[in-house]
Amino acid sequence: MKRRLLIMTVTALVALAVTTGAAVTSDAATKTKTVTITGSHCAGGKEFCFGPATLTIARGTKVMWHNATAAPHTVTRCTKSACGVSGGTGTDLKFGSTIIDPAKSYTFTFAKAGTYIYYCTIHGYALMHGTITVH
Above 50 in pLDDT, residue 47?
A: yes
Q: For residue 41, how far is the Cα from the chain centroid? A: 20
pLDDT range class, residue 1, cuts 50, 70, 90: low
**pLDDT at site 124:** 96
**pLDDT at site 44:** 87
pLDDT range class, residue 74, cuts 50, 70, 90: very high
User: Could you give the residue ranges of the DSSP H alpha helices within 44-126?
Assistant: 80-83
pTM: 0.77
The pLDDT of 24-39, averaged and rounded, is: 74
Q: Where are the domains of the chain?
A: 25-134
**25-134 to CATH, choices 3.40.718.10, 2.60.40.420, 3.30.450.20, 3.40.50.2000:** 2.60.40.420
